[in-house]
Structure 1
């Protein structure tokens, strides 16, 4: 019997993915500020995107607490990231492959940056990500 539901799995996926996205935004901001003559407008966009991702991560953590989910170990493997977590008393394991992480992070980053993600509509429906910057995270 599978104890974690689809929403639970999506929350764990987001919990693993969002910090990676935040790290990428921070890294990109450092690169832009070092190599552009007028980095301020670009940095503002990145900081706004990072703030939205941070808000989503806060919402994910709140929903995880509410649903009785706790990630207790994350390990980077050659193939991807393995997350071990407890879901309402049951130990679960999730492996996110590097290719999946890269694809999903790219879509989320495009959305946070205000870019068009309509080409990824099936992804949006599947993972129920918000389509606009003013909507709250709703897995």
Structure 2
């Protein structure tokens, strides 16, 4: 049986993570706009991050199409998110644990917000 290659797995993982990141940005923007007196500068930073994450998601989707990948089912489990996908005709399964999702989402969100370099200081 042919297994999905590492690039395939990275694309599927990004396909799962990026919508979660976009939802987190939207939720945070809503909270900021209702709680702060001057939310505009913060919302601009978040909006820039949303545009970058959306562009990455479009690239991931194009990459998946080019490599013959299609996620046909996502399911929220107690431990994380399970995705079932087709990789060039073969059915595969990926489970992302909540801890992995949180860690990866934090790294990506820092990068989208321009905080990647700040952490290295």
Class of the TM-score when normalised by the shorter of the 2 chains: over 0.9
The residue aligned with 1:89 is: 89
Q: 2-side partners of 1:118 and 1:85: how far apart?
A: 36
Contact 2:17 2:101 in 1 (8 A): yes
Compute the TM-score of the two structures, normalised by the length of structure 2. 0.95
Q: 2-side partners of 1:109 and 1:65: how far apart?
A: 25
* Paired positions, count: 120
The residue aligned with 1:47 is: 47
Q: 2-side partners of 1:116 and 1:21: how far apart?
A: 16
The residue aligned with 1:109 is: 109
Per the TM alignment, residue 116 of structure 1 is displaced from its structure 2 partner at its CA by 2.2
Greater relative CO (CA pairs within 8 A, separation 6+): 2
The residue aligned with 1:12 is: 12
Per the TM alignment, residue 59 of structure 1 is displaced from its structure 2 partner at its CA by 0.1
> What RMSD, in angstroms, separates the aligned Cα atoms of the two structures?
1.4
Per the TM alignment, residue 9 of structure 1 is displaced from its structure 2 partner at its CA by 0.2
Q: 1-side partners of 2:8 and 2:118: how far apart?
A: 25
Query: Which 5+ residue runs of structure 2 have no aligned equivalent?
Result: none
More helix by share: 2
Contact 1:71 1:85 in 2 (8 A): yes
Per the TM alignment, residue 40 of structure 1 is displaced from its structure 2 partner at its CA by 0.3
Contact 1:14 1:57 in 2 (8 A): yes
Per the TM alignment, residue 69 of structure 1 is displaced from its structure 2 partner at its CA by 0.1
Query: Which 5+ residue runs of structure 1 have no aligned equivalent?
Result: 121-139
Contact 1:70 1:86 in 2 (8 A): yes
Structure 1 pair 36/14, CA: closer, same or farther in 2 (3 Å)? same
